[in-house]
Structure 1
Amino acid sequence: MTKTTGLWPVLFLWGFFAQQVHAQPPVTSQAVIGIIIDDMGKRLETGRRVLALPGPVACAFLPHASHTRELANQANDHGREVLLHLPMDSVDGRPLDAGAVTLQMTKSEFVGTVLENLQRVPHVIGVNNHMGSLLTRHPGHMRWLMETLQHQGTLFFVDSRTTRATVALQVAEETGVPGIRRNVFLDNSHDKKDIAFQFDRLVALAREQGTALAIGHPYPQTLAVLEQRLPQLAKMGIRLVPVRKLIEQQQEGEKTWQAYWSPSRRDAKNSKPSL
């Protein structure tokens, strides 16, 4: 009978080190968040208060708002990302803002409206939806939108997720438009305690999954919370980054997971040394 007792320590050590290598994908660096302030362009005073916030808070402008062009230029001067906040059909039938795209439009009308809105927002580098709980669940109209953005070259799309039935991000991925989804709404409630709770939830999500994106509005209560909390991020081990950087980091994370779960990695994980 062949003695194998001396092999057990070797097998134990091999299994231990294999688990260390394969149990987890490479750990990402510091957790990061992104923040977008919607409904920009309506008021100069609150718009300038947004631009005074510390860090790269992105600004999403309504295309026909009175001060969109002026504030978008100022946002660009401050190094802030400028997005088109594109009005879309909603299921609750709320009145639509000027420049809205709707389910009743032909493709020509739809694309023409999107292009006109993009022209109204200087320095635009991305788009997110204003309302849209109806339109974002329709793949045909979302394809019109994403193909239009894709033809512009470098625009990205943020799905505000005003409905769980949205297909917007899925269609963006299918058409090659860089995209990301909103994780947290900061201010569905205007109470400062509730806004602070949502900010803490944003931070917790970033720590859990590496990245997280929040959307808020230029309400006085929201801005007060951000003015207080944003300077504390560094001490919390959290970094605020531009939305495009957040998209890139998420894409890198997806590539890491795909590589980690590739057949070659699984084969290596499940292989055993021959006795």
Structure 2
Amino acid sequence: MSRFKSSSPLRTPLTAGAGAAALCVAVAGALAFLNTQSPPPVGARASLPALAVDGAEAVEVAQAPAPVFAETPAEDIALPGVTETEAALNPPVSEAATPSRAPQAPLAGLYEPGPGGPLPVIAPDGRRPDAAYARAFDGDPSAPTVAIVVGGLGLNRALTQEAIEVLPAEITLAFVPYARDLQTWVDRARADGHEVLIELPMEPFDYPNNDPGPHTLLAEASEIENTHRLDWLLSRAAGYTGVINYLGARLGASERAMSHVLAALEARGLSVYHDGSGRRPVLEAAQAASEARLSLVDRLLDANPEAAAIDERLLELEALSLQNGTALGLGSPYPTTVESLADWANSLPARGYQLAPASFVSRVRHAQASEPES
């Protein structure tokens, strides 16, 4: 169900091809709740020399003055399974003292004013946000490659911090647009080397009983209305390479609405990731009509949150990367998922696979789709 007070506090389990990143809860009591439930559906300053990641050549990056982001009032958000007392124990995140491994966002030329802060745009020289904010990755283009996105981050301080600090930097992190101190979380994740996505709430079939949150993108809304909603969501933070859906089966079944949303995202130079909620032929048709850089998720990692089941999904991703060259997985920031991913990632290079940020898989797939048929 919804993350919000207007709906019942629990949400339906993940099903195959459904859901974006999950919400998690803040304290020990809430963690116990999560361990007994199926996971919910997963669907910014003076110019400084910026050091590229992974030993790439350092470059001088022009940076813009820090923007002002509008804050979502804390009372607008309720976490499933967390009481008011427990929520009060989850304080705002403080600025990280970790030296940054990425230039702070937004970069000059890559934004315009938006309703909540800067909106990403393609620079006059053609630079795209999805390339400018991507993690540098000097991988082997011939090696079987797996990318992982962990979503639902920003609403739970402890689990978000653990995901940032424990998961390998190659794993991409997706943040909820309603999170308090969202820009601080994005900055912290990027300082630790992670690439960042923003979740977009999209209409499910049982909306509004199942409400993804304010400014949800709707199947029957006009293009003007969905554009206003999208601008609000995208202006919540800066420094992300793209977006991923949260819920959205009904929107994903409307070619007209999805084509408009994808075209708007492509016009802003953002990559799009989608868990497949809706109808795959509709998503593919909308992608073709919009020419968006859309990548579909191959496996949801923790529909079953047990470690053995997560390991099985990871093995399936390895097999898919051997077959197709790349594979893309999506998970939630549950302790079992984070632990399983950390262990799996440590053993991956020795078995002939490479772990890459999601942007690498997006670039490879876009290049393959752009090749003329022989």
**Contact 1:180–1:247 under 8 Å retained in 2:** yes
How many angstroms apart in 1 are the aligned matches of 2:368 and 2:277? 25
Residue 216 of structure 1: CA displacement? 0.3
2:153 aligned residue: 40
1:248 aligned residue: 363
How many angstroms apart in 2 are the aligned matches of 1:200 and 1:230? 12
Residue 131 of structure 1: CA displacement? 0.5
The structure 1 residue matched to 2:259, chosen from 139, 143, 151, is: 143
How many angstroms apart in 2 are the aligned matches of 1:161 and 1:237? 28
The structure 1 residue matched to 2:144, chosen from 24, 31, 39, is: 31
Letter in 1 for 2:363: E
1:102 aligned residue: 218
**Contact 1:86–1:99 under 8 Å retained in 2:** no
How many angstroms apart in 2 are the aligned matches of 1:125 and 1:116? 17
Residue 255 of structure 1: CA displacement? 5.6
How many angstroms apart in 1 are the aligned matches of 2:281 and 2:150? 21
Letter in 2 for 1:213: L
How many angstroms apart in 1 are the aligned matches of 2:347 and 2:324? 20
**Contact 1:101–1:113 under 8 Å retained in 2:** yes
Letter in 2 for 1:51: I
Number of aligned positions between the proteins: 231
Residue 122 of structure 1: CA displacement? 2.1
2:316 aligned residue: 201
The structure 1 residue matched to 2:290, chosen from 164, 175, 179, is: 175
1:61 aligned residue: 175
Mind listing any 5+ residue stretches in structure 2 that lack a counterpart?
1-140
Letter in 2 for 1:73: D
Residue 70 of structure 1: CA displacement? 2.0
Mind listing any 5+ residue stretches in structure 1 that lack a counterpart?
1-27, 263-275
Q: Quick check: 211-220 or 98-107, which moved more?
A: 98-107
Letter in 1 for 2:227: V
* SS of alignment partner, residue 244 of structure 1: helix
How many angstroms apart in 2 are the aligned matches of 1:106 and 1:255? 31
1:130 aligned residue: 246
**Contact 1:63–1:98 under 8 Å retained in 2:** no
**Contact 1:157–1:172 under 8 Å retained in 2:** no
1:118 aligned residue: 234
Q: Which runs of 4+ in 1 moved over 6 A?
A: none
The 1:236–1:127 alpha-carbon spacing in structure 2 relative to 1, beyond 3 Å, is: same
How many angstroms apart in 1 are the aligned matches of 2:339 and 2:181? 22
Residue 109 of structure 1: CA displacement? 1.5
Output the aligned Cα RMSD. 1.8
**Contact 1:63–1:99 under 8 Å retained in 2:** no
Does residue 238 of structure 1 match 2:343?
A: no
Give the TM-score, by structure 1 length. Answer: 0.78
Q: Quick check: 159-168 or 87-96, which moved more?
A: 159-168
The 1:166–1:114 alpha-carbon spacing in structure 2 relative to 1, beyond 3 Å, is: farther
The 1:69–1:176 alpha-carbon spacing in structure 2 relative to 1, beyond 3 Å, is: same
The 1:237–1:194 alpha-carbon spacing in structure 2 relative to 1, beyond 3 Å, is: same
Residue 120 of structure 1: CA displacement? 0.4
Per-residue deviation, residues 189-214 of structure 1 (Å, max 9, x unmatched): 11111111111111111112111000
How many angstroms apart in 2 are the aligned matches of 1:163 and 1:221? 28
How many angstroms apart in 2 are the aligned matches of 1:253 and 1:147? 20
Q: Quick check: 162-171 or 135-144, which moved more?
A: 162-171
Residue 165 of structure 1: CA displacement? 4.2
| Larger proportion of helix | 1
Per-residue deviation, residues 20-75 of structure 1 (Å, max 9, x unmatched): xxxxxxxx611001111111111121112111211311111111123432211111
Q: Using the aligned pairs only, state the percent identity.
A: 23
The structure 1 residue matched to 2:191, chosen from 72, 77, 84, is: 77
Q: Quick check: which has more Rg, 1 or 2?
A: 1
**Contact 2:163–2:338 under 8 Å retained in 1:** yes
How many angstroms apart in 1 are the aligned matches of 2:163 and 2:347? 17
